[in-house]
């Protein structure tokens, strides 16, 4: 990902990610490392400006593009690793959770923090967390909007490994891909999809309902007010 300053996910960036995933699949890619050009941020999650006073059709397109990108990422036939050498809140955490393996560096915060922002992580975000860390830990983390530090993320199983820095992180991600290289492709892909199918189907069969929930939620005046205040707090911080 290379969308400075924080790889926030707007419609255009989501479309680029989606196109890249389609291309990799068409080219029979043998593995992907999802990484960031930023030295300190993996991805800041959804671009909050896409949810602030949007036009209805633009908001619908934004959400459908996010769904498209995620459905592709979660179901890739090739192995995927997230090299998390920077913070990964909310949608950034979703990207990492959607890969098959996660390597993280020290001093990083990662989690589905939506509750803390007064918004709600959609069901499929929650499913991804549950599938990685289990029901009990996911429920606790989601209710609190907990951001895990590196050590906590490793302990709870949100990530698989800690590496010292970006170079080591990429090297460990490559080692994971190498460990998968000799597995029969069809068997590997079939098992992966078997594990992920119910999560994928839940969104695929409820896409329109999920979009409706998003639209009805963000168009509420009190949610708009919350987003406005949050945007102000973010820009004051950097100002
Ligand atoms: C019943 C209802 C059910 C369902 C409801 C349905 C849907 C609701 C939608 C729910 C889904 C939400 C998923 C999300 O992903 S929401 C986004 C959450 N993301 C965050 O909270 C991250 C916020 N950012 C940060 O914490 C920090 O920026 C970060 C740690 C990533 C990096 O810190 P750093 O100090 O390096 O940078 P900053 O100075 O903070 O930021 C630099 C500039 O970037 C802007 N910025 C940061 N994050 C975002 C963002 N997510 N979107 C847009 N812009 C962002 C920030 O404002 C700075 O901008 P300038 O002031 O420099 O212009």
Residue 90 lies in a domain: yes
Indicate whether residue 112 lines ligand 1 (CB < 6 A). Answer: no
pTM: 0.97
Which of 148, 106, 109, 117 lies closest to 46 in space, CA to CA?
Answer: 117
Within a domain: 2: no
pLDDT for 126-179, tens place per residue? 999 999 999 999 999 999 999 999 999 999 999 999 999 999 999 999 999 999
Determine phi and psi for 82, rounding to 5 degrees: -100, 125
Separate counts of helices (H) and strands (E) for the chain: 10, 7
Is 123 part of any domain? yes
User: Does any ligand 1 atom lie closer than 6 A to the CB of residue 40?
Assistant: yes
Q: Which residue segment(s) compose the domain that 67 sits in?
A: 11-238
Q: Give the Å distance between the CA of 152 and the centre of ligand 1.
A: 22
| pLDDT of amino acid 11 | 98
Torsion of CA 105, 106, 108, 111, to 10 degrees: 80
> What is the per-residue pLDDT for 4?
96
Q: Is residue 3 part of a domain?
A: no
5 in a structural domain: no
90 alpha carbon – ligand 1 mean position (Å): 8
Using the atom order of ligand 1, give the atom closest to the CA of residue 236.
Answer: 61
Confidence at residue 118, expressed as pLDDT on a 0 to 100 scale: 85
82 part of a folded domain: yes
Q: Does residue 6 form part of some domain?
A: no
Mean pLDDT (10-residue bins), the chain, 239 residues: 97 98 96 97 97 97 98 98 98 98 98 92 97 98 98 98 98 98 96 98 97 96 92 79
Q: Which of 117, 14, 105 is nearest to 58 (CA)?
A: 14
Say how many domains are in the chain.
1
CATH number for 18: 3.90.226.10
**Residue 204 CB coordination number (10 Å):** 14
- Choice from 6, 64, 90, 109 to test ligand 1 binding pocket (greatest atom count within 8 A of CB): 6
Q: Give the pLDDT score at 238.
A: 61
What is the spatial distance between Cα 34 and Cα 36, in angstroms, rounded to a whole number? 7
pLDDT computed for residue 239 by the predictor = 58
pLDDT, residue 138, reads: 98
């Amino acid at each position: 990902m290379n969308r400075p300053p924080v790889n926030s996910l707007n419609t255009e960036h989501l479309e680029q990610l989606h196109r890249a995933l389609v291309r990799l699949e068409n080219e029979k890619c043998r593995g992907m490392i999802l990484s960031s050009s930023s030295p300190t941020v993996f991805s800041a999650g959804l671009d909050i400006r896409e949810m602030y006073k949007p036009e209805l059709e633009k908001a619908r397109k934004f959400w459908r593009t996010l769904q498209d990108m995620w459905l592709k990422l979660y179901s890739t036939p090739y192995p995927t690793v997230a090299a998390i050498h920077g913070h990964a809140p909310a949608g950034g955490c979703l990207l990492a959770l959607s890969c098959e393996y996660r390597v993280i560096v020290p001093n990083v915060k990662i989690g589905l923090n939506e509750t803390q922002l007064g918004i709600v992580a959609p069901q499929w975000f929650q499913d991804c967390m549950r599938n990685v860390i289990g029901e009990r830990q996911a429920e606790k983390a989601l209710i609190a909007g907990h951001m895990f530090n590196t050590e906590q993320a490793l302990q709870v199983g949100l990530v698989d490994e800690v590496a010292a820095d970006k170079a080591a992180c990429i090297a460990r991600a490559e080692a994971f891909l190498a460990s998968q290289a000799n597995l029969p492709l069809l068997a590997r892909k079939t098992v992966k999809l078997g594990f992920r199918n119910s999560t994928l189907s839940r969104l695929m069969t409820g896409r329109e309902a999920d979009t409706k929930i998003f639209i009805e939620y963000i168009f509420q005046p009190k949610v708009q007010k919350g987003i406005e205040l949050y945007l102000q707090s973010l820009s004051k911080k950097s100002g």
